[in-house]
């Protein structure tokens, strides 16, 4: 849930490519240069942090700086989060280079990149594991932190709509964002009342509302999970009302069940009615889940025949992609590979390899709530994490052992409610859901999948936050 929350903030902080329907960004330099903005971050009227944004003029364009501090509560534990985004922009506001860092206690993730012709060259770092990625782009990308300011300083009018393809450092992915300029309103921030232009940012089925001054400065924002930002002074941001922890993000987005399920880990079948959402963009249907006319049928897989599977089993073309390493699933990391060599026998059937790797995780990784962008190497080094950390580590170990592995995300039943959760599916000639946090092969039937693939696909669940309704009809 924190990754989702971080990405919602990164809608403003991330890197975008433009589709401006004929508009060009030609704002006057004196309008944009020298902006220094502090904002308080609230959740349900309680201050949980602050942000600081700076735009300065350079000889070869602009420099953008954004710093965010938040105090996040998950599962009753408090975490201090620091996010830094720096960018150097060309005179036309396109990106020269960026530097993104996020820190929470023992967990750190960093990404930096620069444009080289039509390639965004990116380097990520987590606990010394360095990855280099060349990402082709169709047009020069932008930093959204400066683009909002530049777009408004360019004289865009009420009713205009334009779209972007966002590259988000928090998930290493491109996703579309729509910006709609609405109408002028009178708004209040603190004791100040002023006129501002209401603007909407739509992203993965969610919408954030921004109020922008005539100078192109964001003075207020409101989004999902009760989060809002308001412009303030430096003294108030740093020394004003005390920063409190957010509401528990895990419980905040949980969905109460209409019935109590005893021993959910033993369920082999679940029938539920789903409403309140558009299921089309989601990855709901597969051999395990069948969705029809608003009803979802989930059948726990049988794995009896997999124990007799021949050791020469080879992945098919469709699953081969899920053997490759990625920035968050570093299956080619030496430490990851060494664990696999020490834990499994090359002649073991794949299902036996999976069981041994799952048992290794359960014996060596502490089950503890963590606020981070989950990646396998950080989880291995810290030897702690929640469902996301367990899932990315299991995916990395499985891929290193030659088993195609995906990260699944959705809901799972626990103590009278359905909670957002992450687990895996592994390919043994067919996909089988497993849960390394709960130690389940296969996972029980209360695991309701809405996204599948990796961290970037987990953003699909943004579209169901606060909207989905579930009614349990039958289970056994």
Query: How distant is the alpha carbon of residue 291 from its chain centre?
Result: 25
Asked whether the beta carbons of 423 and 435 are under 8 A apart, the reply is yes
| Residue 8: CA count within 13 A, CB half-sphere | 26
Going by their DSSP bridges, the two strands 77-89 and 95-104 should be labelled as antiparallel
Q: In this predicted structure, what is the pLDDT of residue 365?
A: 96
* Of 264, 322, 275, the residue nearest 298 (C-alpha): 264
**Most distant pair of Cα atoms in the chain: their distance:** 72
| DSSP calls for 108-132 | EEEEEEEEETTEEEEEEEETTEEEE
Could you identify the residue written with the tokens 């109408």? 183
Cα 416 → chain centroid: 26
- For residue 231, the model assigns a pLDDT of 92
Contact present, 448 and 192 (Cβ < 8 Å): no
Distance separating alpha carbons of residues 317 and 51, to the nearest angstrom: 46
Are 268 and 299 spatial neighbours (Cβ–Cβ below 8 Å)? yes
Spatial distance between the Cα atoms of 199 and 180, rounded to a whole number of angstroms: 6
Give the CA angle between residues 303, 305, 307 to the nearest 5°: 80
Average pLDDT over residues 57-78: 87
CA separation, residue 403 to residues 416, 449, 468 (Å): 34, 20, 33
Residue 89 in tokens: 């922009």
Percent helix, strand, coil in the chain, to 5, is 25, 45, 35
Residue 63 has pLDDT above 50, yes or no: yes
Long-range contacts from 30-33, C-beta under 8 angstroms, 24+ separation? 31/153, 31/215, 31/216, 32/57, 32/62, 32/146, 32/149, 32/150, 32/153, 32/216, 33/57, 33/62
Distance between CA atoms of residues 467 and 470, nearest Å: 10
Does the pLDDT at position 29 exceed 90?
Answer: no
Q: Where are the domains of the chain?
A: 2-247, 253-475
Q: Which two tokens stand for residue 287?
A: 């051999």
Residues 366-409 have pLDDT tens digits of 998 877 778 899 999 999 989 999 999 999 999 999 999 999 99
pLDDT, tens digit, for every residue of 331-363? 999 999 999 999 999 989 999 999 999 999 999
Backbone angles phi, psi at 290, to 5 degrees: -125, 125
Residue 333, beta-bridge partner list: none
For 128-171, write each residue's pLDDT tens digit: 888 888 888 877 776 665 556 656 656 667 888 877 666 666 66
| Res. 18: pLDDT tops 60 | no
The domain 253-475 is placed in CATH, from the list 3.30.565.10, 3.10.620.30, 3.40.50.720, 3.40.630.30, at 3.10.620.30
For residue 300 the two structure tokens come to 């726990």
3-class secondary-structure state, position 33: coil
Asked if residue 442 has a cis previous peptide bond (ω within 30° of 0), the answer is yes
Angle at 166 between CA 177 and CA 226, to 5 degrees: 55
Is this model's pTM higher than 0.75 or not?
yes
Q: What single DSSP character describes residue 301?
A: P
Are 281 and 461 contacting, i.e. CB atoms less than 8 angstroms apart?
no
């Amino acid at each position: 849930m924190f990754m989702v929350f971080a990405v919602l903030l990164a809608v403003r902080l991330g890197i975008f490519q433009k589709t401006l329907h004929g508009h060009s960004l030609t704002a006057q330099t004196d309008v944009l240069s020298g902006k220094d903005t502090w904002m308080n971050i609230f959740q349900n009227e309680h201050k949980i942090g602050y942000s600081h944004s700076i735009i300065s003029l350079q000889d070869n364009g602009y420099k953008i700086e954004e710093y965010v501090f938040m105090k996040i509560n998950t599962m009753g534990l408090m975490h201090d989060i620091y996010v830094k985004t720096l960018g150097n922009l060309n005179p036309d506001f396109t990106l020269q280079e960026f530097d993104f860092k996020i820190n929470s206690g023992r967990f750190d993730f960093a990404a930096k990149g620069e444009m080289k012709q039509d390639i965004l060259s990116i380097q990520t770092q987590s606990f010394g594991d360095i990855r280099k990625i060349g990402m082709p782009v169709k047009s020069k990308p932008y930093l959204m932190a400066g683009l909002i300011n530049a777009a408004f300083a360019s004289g865009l009018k009420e009713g205009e709509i334009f779209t972007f393809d966002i590259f988000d450092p928090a998930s290493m992915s491109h996703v579309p964002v729509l910006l709609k300029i609405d109408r002028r309103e009178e708004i209040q921030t603190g004791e100040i009342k002023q006129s501002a232009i209401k603007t909407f940012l739509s992203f993965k089925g969610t919408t954030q509302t921004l109020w922008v001054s005539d100078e192109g400065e964001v003075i207020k924002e409101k989004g999902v999970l009760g989060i809002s930002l308001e412009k303030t002074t430096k003294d108030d941001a740093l020394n004003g009302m005390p920063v409190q922890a957010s509401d528990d993000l895990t419980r905040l987005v949980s969905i109460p069940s209409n019935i109590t399920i005893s021993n959910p880990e033993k369920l082999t079948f679940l029938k539920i009615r789903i409403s309140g959402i558009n299921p089309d963009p989601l990855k709901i249907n597969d051999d395990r889940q069948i969705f029809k006319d608003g009803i979802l049928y989930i059948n726990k897989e049988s794995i009896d025949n997999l124990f007799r599977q021949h050791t020469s089993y080879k992945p098919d073309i469709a699953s081969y992609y899920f053997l490759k390493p990625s920035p968050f699933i570093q299956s080619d990391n030496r430490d990851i590979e060494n664990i696999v060599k020490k834990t499994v026998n090359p002649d073991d059937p794949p299902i036996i390899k999976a069981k041994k790797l799952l048992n290794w995780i359960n014996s060596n990784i502490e089950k503890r709530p963590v606020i981070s962008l989950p990646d396998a190497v950080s989880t291995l080094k810290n030897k702690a994490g929640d469902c996301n950390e367990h899932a990315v580590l299991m995916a990395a170990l499985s891929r290193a052992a030659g088993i195609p592995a995906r990260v699944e995300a959705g809901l799972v039943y626990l103590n009278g409610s359905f909670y957002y959760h992450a687990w895996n599916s592994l390919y043994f000639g067919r996909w089988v859901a497993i849960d390394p946090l709960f130690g389940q092969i296969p996972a029980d039937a209360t695991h309701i999948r809405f996204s599948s693939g990796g961290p970037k696909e987990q953003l699909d669940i943004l579209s169901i936050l606060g909207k989905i309704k579930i009614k349990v009809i039958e289970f056994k």
